[in-house]
Amino acid sequence: MNPAIVLRNVARTATRRPVVAAVPRQRLRAAAVQVAARRSISSTEVAGPPDAPAPKKKEVKYTADSYPNIQRNSQFSKLTLEDVTYFESICPVVSIDKGASQDELEAFNTDWMRKYRGQTRLVVKPKSTEDVSKIIKHCNERKLAVVPQGGNTGLVGGSVPVFDEIVINMSNMNKVRSFDEVSGILTCDAGVVLEAADSYLREKGYIFPLDLGAKGSCHVGGNVATNAGGLRLLRYGSLHGTVLGVEVVLPDGRILDDLSLLRKNNTGYDLKQLFIGSEGTIGIITAISIICPQKPTAQNVAFFAVESYEKAQEIFVKTKQQLSEILSAFEFMDSSSQAFVKLVTRKKLPLETQAPFYVLIETSGSNTEHDKEKLDTLLENLMENEDVSDGTVAESETQMRELWTWREGIAEALGHYGGVYKYDVSIPLSELYLLVEDVRTRMKEVGLLTTPENPEGIVVDIVGYGHMGDSNLHLNIPVRGFDKRVEKALEPFIYEWIQKRRGSISAEHGLGVAKSDFVGYSRGETELGVMKAIKGLFDPNGIMNPYKYIKA
Amino acid sequence: MNPAIVLRNVARTATRRPVVAAVPRQRLRAAAVQVAARRSISSTEVAGPPDAPAPKKKEVKYTADSYPNIQRNSQFSKLTLEDVTYFESICPVVSIDKGASQDELEAFNTDWMRKYRGQTRLVVKPKSTEDVSKIIKHCNERKLAVVPQGGNTGLVGGSVPVFDEIVINMSNMNKVRSFDEVSGILTCDAGVVLEAADSYLREKGYIFPLDLGAKGSCHVGGNVATNAGGLRLLRYGSLHGTVLGVEVVLPDGRILDDLSLLRKNNTGYDLKQLFIGSEGTIGIITAISIICPQKPTAQNVAFFAVESYEKAQEIFVKTKQQLSEILSAFEFMDSSSQAFVKLVTRKKLPLETQAPFYVLIETSGSNTEHDKEKLDTLLENLMENEDVSDGTVAESETQMRELWTWREGIAEALGHYGGVYKYDVSIPLSELYLLVEDVRTRMKEVGLLTTPENPEGIVVDIVGYGHMGDSNLHLNIPVRGFDKRVEKALEPFIYEWIQKRRGSISAEHGLGVAKSDFVGYSRGETELGVMKAIKGLFDPNGIMNPYKYIKA
């Protein structure tokens, strides 16, 4: 008997169970290797989405036009040539009034999804905290609105202007300030790119306690300002726990130096926490300090086919129990999401067995042998109980990266149609996937979903995937084009659905322009009242990233 | 050769190194067992502190008398019989005006160290969030000052009144509200005792992500309100990362329901963070939700004698690297601290070898075999490199608890003299113990330290111990009686010393009355300005826990 088959199919045949239980660990490992190795040779076709057209570069609509209910705040001043000249005396600028072209400004005015577009005439690029302080002080005195901008990789339009807000781009502040090799505490400018920070740390035996798809572009300052969650929150916790300090320029230009290198400091309100996730509305983060975990010396990735969402939950509980301290990611993807990746990348699926769900498990530990043993024991257990219908374990770093692409590549693959409606929500685990099913039913009911009977439906498919370990679902609805009918069918339907379950309408993507109007579905009146009061306390003129987040 | 001797003394004899390296793991384990087992048979005497008298129950001085610079705020009203009658209609009260004796009130007026004493005439004991809301609303309207009180186990006088503030004691709110066995998320009332919460969770395979000496009395609400750190922060992180939500009654009586069950929720400012560590100054926490780690199924405790503080640091780095994900505590104790425990408990020291420092390492994992192997490898490595001069590994839960008493028993042991000056500070690791040495030198210089030449010195000894993993030193100065000369020699000397190194004057104990005046040594003007503004925003009448924390 081919041991690969044992690993892959036994869970479906109850009579084989005793055989599996008897297979020694070494053979299971061997099986896993063979399965992984065979991926490129044979693969089953999966019914997938309609052929994807090459992405088109269409003109991006002005946010002011997409959101006609947002009006420019008339209390804000208009930028003058004197203002620009003053800013130019402080730091590099990109300014229409100083000869820059509209094209040069476009990258700062438009988000990477090409969904939001502002109309700024000026981008300032400070090189130091003092520069930022001077800029903000002037803006506050003159009542000029601003948008702090990091890597501009956000998904809710938070990092580009709506009207003529001045863009404060942080890319010139990109230095590591200090790193302590004993404590693992890093201090760096806000404009350091996440991947650069991580590479720097890896050379010293540490890693950044955050990892996400946009790591090659996003800034650590932006990560903190938006409280990015990412792929390994399950293991390393949220930035509220790992960030030790921030340096912030307040809306009046004062520098708040809370750049602590201490893990414990109970001397007053923990102000830095207010800035984590504040999306640039009460100050600009200019530097951060963060405690970094050690680089794991052993990593494993396993990928399973799962027959139902209930099974996926059971696997999650068992995995938590058995992998415990070495579990670093537990991701789930539905079959639709995988079909899109397959279609766009033209790669073979990692498993031959088709299933409604797939699960990716990653371990990060310090002892290869121990971790493999733990993982093998889990695999045996899952197979014995028929929890998985197929599975593979990566045996090299290349294979690990390859398996991760089936999770990390989803967002990009979905972008190959006319548009994607994206919802990033948190719901108690038991009902997490029910939202995808209910949205699918609804889209069918309103006749918008592509089906054999409706092959030209504007809605291409309903896709669900995400961080199961954090109860965080990414509900994505790829469409042939943005359409008011789709929006009307989705909202407030989705938000009401989430509110009923006390979920979050934005688990990790934040509010920005996109979710600002819907925050009431996840927050009560008292909470919103206190938030508005805090905004007013820090930024009485309202110049910081207006028209977004918690509106006054 | 007795293998026990190999484990214990080899590091001191360079020539024996190859022998150790050759000892197989099994024998090292056996050696450890023998060492642990032998503890009760033979032990070396250690030069210790002077004989401790039995603790005396002296009269506790009123805080108002110890701090004559604090004046009662004349804007606060005085309690009337009508007020008491109203409160009595809401919930149980202990009131002088309703026949309670001074003695009955004493437990609520005085802290457990018997260092702070207030003069309240009324304790209210709400049974629900609504009760708290009614009480606070009335107090705010009447400008009656209040003190929220949990288990009253604080060390800085934060949980007892200074003058006649009404005590809001939370012990009647002690129910678990919900627990999700899949996600590990617990929701419970603020007045649940930490140990009770932990026992409840252990039955379900989880633990509370916080552990500290006062667990038998302290409330989880108080833990959150003071941002307690404790013994395993190194592993499970701070409450800022694990607390998912709070229910808070605001100073105007509104209930802020931020009792989230979600790990991710990026919908506005993370308000709960402001209450974590706010010491009851901007609201009363009535319930918390918290994510709990799984109960470790394997635990180990090792205890080492170390020749110098530099060696202790080296051991810390190696331990972090080698035990990585299973390391759950790294505590250090100086020889003085251990001598006090020995003297008071009359127990044998766990190691025969005397050394200036001792280190306690705990692992918490999911696989006994794996963890033991990792620990054994570390032990071998430490011995080969002569990093430790003696050591023992607990082989049973009883032995583990026994080893922990040498760390956890310090605070109590020091309390057997006339008093203890306690400093709980955070300093960059490299200079952590230098503070103890510098304070010792200073106390000698001013002629206050007990020495062979000065056997009746008011200062009994200078003791340092703490959470090395968190750069958190507990500097304790046991004295034959509180004395202004000692205080003058200690302060601001210690605070200035810490300020120079950008440390924290209160790592985990908070500010309360004790550290309130010194917060400027750890926080800048801008930070303090913002903190005062936040206090003013939430509590314009200043009724919440006045005379403490960040003063207006």
Tens digit of each residue's pLDDT (9 = 90 or more) over A176-213: 999 998 889 999 999 999 999 999 999 999 999 999 98
pLDDT the model gives residue B341: 96
Element (H, E) at B314: helix B309-323
- Find chain A residues with C-beta within 8 A of B514's C-beta: none
Q: What is the distance between the alpha carbons of residues A10 and A377, in angstroms, rounded to a whole number? A: 16
Tell me how close the Cα of B165 comes to any Cα of chain A, in angstroms: 21
Contacts of B255 in chain A (CB under 8 A): 526
Nearest-Cα residue of chain B relative to residue A313: B182
pLDDT for residue B46 is more than 60: no
The pLDDT assigned to A56 comes to 55
Decide if A290 touches B, using CB distance below 8 A. Answer: no
Q: Is B429–A374 a contact, with Cβ atoms under 8 angstroms apart?
A: no
Q: What is the pLDDT of residue A36?
A: 33
| Other Cβ atoms within 10 Å of B346 Cβ, number | 7
- Interchain contact A53–B (C-beta under 8 A): no
Closest-CA distance of chain A to residue B392, Å: 24
What is residue A93's three-state secondary structure? strand
Question: Nearest Cα to B379, choosing from B1, B2, B3, B46?
Answer: B3
Question: Interface pTM (ipTM) of the complex?
Answer: 0.90
Distance of CA B275 to the CA centre of its chain: 18
CB contact under 8 A, A510 and B266: yes
Residue A400 has pLDDT above 70, yes or no: yes
Contacts of A534 in chain B (CB under 8 A): 269, 534, 537
Is A374 close to B370, i.e. CB distance below 8 A? yes
Dump pLDDT digits (tens) for B461-499: 999 999 998 999 999 999 999 899 999 999 999 999 999
> Are the CB atoms for B77 and B121 separated by under 8 Å?
no
> How many angstroms away from the CA of B39 is the closest CA of chain A?
32
Report the pLDDT value the prediction gives residue A27, as an integer from 0 to 100: 30
Identify which of B268, B326, B426 has the shortest CB distance to residue A531: B268
Instruction: Please state whether the peptide bond connecting residue A452 to the residue before it is cis, i.e. omega within 30 degrees of 0.
Output: no
Contact B266 A321 (CB under 8 A): no
Structure confidence at residue A12 (pLDDT): 28
- Beta carbons within 8 Å of A5's beta carbon, 6+ residues apart: none
User: For the residues B186-202, what does the mean pLDDT come to?
Assistant: 98
From the list A240, A269, A549, which residue is nearest B270 (CB)? A240
Residue A146's SS3 state is: strand
Q: Is A276 on the interface with B (CB under 8 A)?
A: yes
**Which helix (DSSP H) or strand (DSSP E) does residue B534 occupy?**
helix B525-538
Nearest Cα residue in chain B from A519: B267
Nearest residue on chain B to A260, judged by CA atoms? B502
* Mean pLDDT computed over A312-316: 94
Taking the alpha carbons at both ends of chain B, their separation in whole angstroms is 68
Please name the member of B263, B265, B276 whose beta carbon is closest to the beta carbon of A270: B276
Amino acid A417: pLDDT = 84
**Burial grade of A484 (CB within 10 A; 0-12, 13-18, 19 or more):** exposed
Contacts of A423 in chain B (CB under 8 A): none
* CA pair distance A94, A121, nearest whole angstrom: 8
Taking residues B241-259, report their average pLDDT: 97
Question: What pLDDT does residue B211 have?
Answer: 94
Q: How confident is the model at residue A25 (pLDDT cuts 50, 70, 90)?
A: very low
| A515·B267 Cβ contact <8 A | yes
pLDDT in tens, B400-409: 999 999 999 9
**Does the pLDDT of residue B28 top 70, yes or no?**
no
How confident is the model over A50-64, as pLDDT tens digits? 665 555 567 899 999
DSSP assignment of B175-227 equals: -EEEEETTTTEEEEETTSBHHHHHHHHHHTTB--S---TTTTT-BHHHHHHTT
Interface of A with B in 337-396 (CB under 8 A): 364-367, 370, 373-374
- Yes or no, beta carbons of B274 and A277 under 8 Å apart: no
Burial label for A381, CB within 10 Å (0-12, 13-18, 19+), is middle
Query: Is 80 exceeded by the pLDDT of residue A170?
Result: yes
State how far the Cα of B495 lies from the Cα of B492, in Å rounded to an integer. Answer: 5
Pairing of strands A122-124, A166-169: parallel
Q: What distance in Å separates residue A161's CA from the closest CA in chain B?
A: 19
Q: Between chains, do A506 and B374 touch, taking CB under 8 Å as contact?
A: no
**Residue B220 backbone class (left: φ over 0; alpha: ψ -120 to 50; beta: rest):** alpha
Q: Where are the alpha helices (DSSP H) in B324-446?
A: 335-345, 368-384, 397-408, 410-414, 434-445
pLDDT score, position A549: 98
By the CB < 8 Å criterion, does A175 face chain B?
Answer: no
Q: Computed from CA positions of residues B200, B206, B212, B218, in that sequence, does the dihedral angle turn out positive or negative?
A: negative
Put simply, whether A251 touches B (Cβ < 8 Å) is no
Give pLDDT, residue A509: 95
Cβ–Cβ pairs < 8 A, chains A and B: 269
Identify the closest residue of chain B to A533 by CA–CA distance. B537
Q: List, for residues A404-433, the tens digit of each pLDDT value.
A: 999 999 999 998 888 899 999 999 999 999
- Of the partner residues A267, A506, A534, the one whose CB lies closest to the CB of residue B267: A506
Task: Give B-chain residues touching A260 at CB under 8 angstroms.
Answer: 502, 504
pLDDT for position B417 = 84
* Residue of A497, A502, A504 whose CA lies nearest to A470: A504
What is residue B30's predicted lDDT score, i.e. its pLDDT?
A: 32
Taking the CA of residue B458 and the nearest CA in chain A, the distance in Å comes to: 30
Phi/psi at B421 (5° precision):
-85, 120
pLDDT above 90 (res A524)? yes
A266 vs B510: CB contact, 8 Å cut-off? yes
Model confidence at A479, pLDDT cuts 50, 70, 90, reads very high
Q: Does B295 touch chain A (CB under 8 A)?
A: no
pLDDT one-digit tens code per residue, A361-396 = 999 999 999 999 999 999 999 999 989 989 999 989
CA nearest neighbour of B269 among A94, A99, A544, A66: A544
pTM: 0.90
**CA–CA separation, A213 and A190 (whole Å):** 19
> Which residues in chain B (127-156) have CB-CB distances under 8 A to chain A?
none
Which residues partner with B362 through β-bridges? B301, B329
Look over chain A and give the mean of its residue pLDDT values, rounded to a whole number. Answer: 89
Question: Is the minimum CB–CB distance between A187 and chain B shorter than 8 Å?
Answer: no
Which positions in chain A touch B507 (Cβ < 8 Å)? 262, 264-266
**Chain A contacts of B472, Cβ < 8 Å?**
263-264
Looking at the complex, report in whole angstroms how far the Cα of residue A252 sits from the nearest Cα belonging to chain B.
11
Q: Which of A266, A317, A320 sits opposite B506 (nearest CB)?
A: A266
Residue B55 pLDDT more than 70? no
**Which A residues in the span 448-507 are in contact with B, Cβ-Cβ below 8 Å?**
467, 470-472, 502-507
The two three-digit tokens of residue A180, written as one number = 């302590």
pLDDT bracket for residue A173 (50, 70, 90): very high
Mutate which of A206, A249, A263 to test chain B, going by most B C-beta atoms within 10 A? Answer: A263
Alpha-helical regions (H) of A39-152: 63-66, 81-90, 102-109, 129-142
Mean pLDDT of B23-47: 31
Asked if B322 lies within 8 A of A266 by C-beta distance, the reply is: no
Contacts of B316 in chain A (CB under 8 A): 182
Q: Give the pairing type, strands A166-169 and A146-149.
A: parallel
Please give the angle made by the CA atoms of B331, B335 and B340, to the nearest 5 degrees: 100
Contact status, residue A352 vs residue A303, Cβ threshold 8 Å: no
**Does A226 reach chain B within 8 Å, measured CB to CB?**
yes
Q: Do A423 and A474 form a contact (C-beta atoms < 8 A)?
A: yes
According to the model, what pLDDT value does residue A55 have?
Answer: 52
